[in-house]
Amino acid sequence: MALSRAEWHLREIAHQERADALTADHRARSQRGEKHPVWDFLFTYYSYKPAQLRRWHPGAGVELEDAPERTGWRWYSPGAAAGGVVPDAASFAREKADLAGLVERMLRRTASRPGQFGCFGLHEWAMVYQADELRHSVPLRLGKAGTDAVVENHDLRCTHFDAFRFFTPEAVPRNRTALTREDQPLFEQPGCLHAGMDLYKWATKLGPLVRGELLLDAFELARDIRLLDMEAAPYDLSPWGVTPVPIETAEGKAEYVRRQRVFADRGAALRTALLESWLGTPVSAT
């Protein structure tokens, strides 16, 4: 597939406008030196700057005609036409073999499992369980004793290592499974909020092999999940306009699971799209 310069330039402009709209509030806060306990995570944990987010790519194997300014861009190869370039999945696989293997394993194995919906976002509670100091300078809405009681009255079922690794030492043995980095592909499952958010991480790792529109779709999913993650957290975020989802109640649990299932469906579609944009193969392929 090839795109004429006129075609790909229009898509590039549309992508830049969409990316700018998505990052406008964050960029304005940065200019003011203002921190935000919910939204800064999208730009610090994932370490992908707004300028990188607005850079459009067509996806692996799609040639950009008349694109000499992209000659020499990482993981781009010369196209069939003079001045044409194409994102090259084979070049990425040669240079980043370990990363390519990890991303494919994470996407395919996560997609192959049924979603689990009984964690209720307690990973954030486990991160402050019996802690003398909080990870964030935000008060606990139930206080320290109330927060600890919620953890003690529930079964911790976290399946995501990058949440589990921040558990307090007292919370670690309460989790059903002792997770490790090496075993991460064995436990990741599509109901996990963070597995859905990490679709954005995998998209950023793949760079030009993922079409820009899909990258922004993944960012939007991560943004939407991040809000629920913090609404269900133990923190009092009312000064930032965040209404809690009280997962310590039956009503809060029901709302959390309902929204969690919606995110799992969105994530499933994105996993398929990421693999097809990158490798041209569906999730079911082995």
Token code pair at residue 22: 């998505």
Check whether 200 has a pLDDT greater than 80: yes
Neighbours of 236 (CB within 10 A): 15
**280 Rama sector, left if φ>0, alpha if ψ -120 to 50, beta otherwise:** left
Q: Render pLDDT for 165-192 as a digit per residue (tens, 0 to 9).
A: 999 999 999 999 999 999 999 999 999 9
Mean of per-residue pLDDT scores for the chain? 95
Stretch 140-155: mean pLDDT: 96
Residue 126, pLDDT > 60, answer: yes
Count of beta carbons in the 10 Å neighbourhood of residue 286: 6
Q: Is the pLDDT of residue 134 over 90?
A: no
Determine, yes or no, domain membership for 161: no
Q: Is residue 148 part of a domain?
A: no
What is the reported pLDDT for 283?
63
Query: Rounded to whole angstroms, how far apart are CA atoms 143 and 174?
Result: 20
Of 22-36, 149-163, 233-247, 269-283, the least confident: 269-283
Determine contact, residues 108/286, Cβ cutoff 8 Å.
yes
Confirm if 141 and 234 have CB atoms less than 8 A apart: yes
Evaluate if residue 286 carries a pLDDT over 50: no
Please tell me the total count of domains within the chain.
Answer: 1
Bridge partner residues of 86 (DSSP): 77
Q: What is the pLDDT of residue 249?
A: 97
Residue 141: inside a domain: no
Instruction: Output the pLDDT for position 133.
Output: 74
Residue 130 lies in a domain: no
Q: Is the pLDDT of residue 136 over 50?
A: yes
- CA–CA gap between residue 198 and residue 188 (Å, rounded): 11
- What are the helix (H) ranges across 168-249? 184-187, 193-206, 212-231
Is pTM beyond 0.75? Reply is: yes
Is pLDDT at 62 greater than 90 in this prediction?
yes
pLDDT for 285 beyond 70? no
Domain that holds residue 267: 2-117+184-278
DSSP 4: -
In the chain, pLDDT over 90 holds for what percent of residues?
92
**Average confidence (pLDDT) over 62-83:** 93
User: Region 42-63: what's the mean pLDDT?
Assistant: 95
Between these two residues, 132 and 42, which has the higher pLDDT value?
42
Amino acid at 266: R
- pLDDT at residue 281 above 80? no
Residue 286 covered by a domain: no
Would 131 be classed as within a structural domain? no
- 24-49 pLDDT, tens per residue? 999 999 999 999 999 999 999 998 99
Phi, psi of 96 (to 5 degrees): -125, 55
How long is the chain?
Answer: 286
Domain membership of residue 133 (yes or no) is no
**Within 13 Å of residue 181, how many CA atoms lie on the same side as its CB?**
3
pLDDT of 135 > 80? The answer is no
Residue type, 254: A
Say if 272 falls within a structural domain: yes
Confirm if 195 and 266 have CB atoms less than 8 A apart: no
Distance from the Cα of residue 83 to its chain's centroid: 35
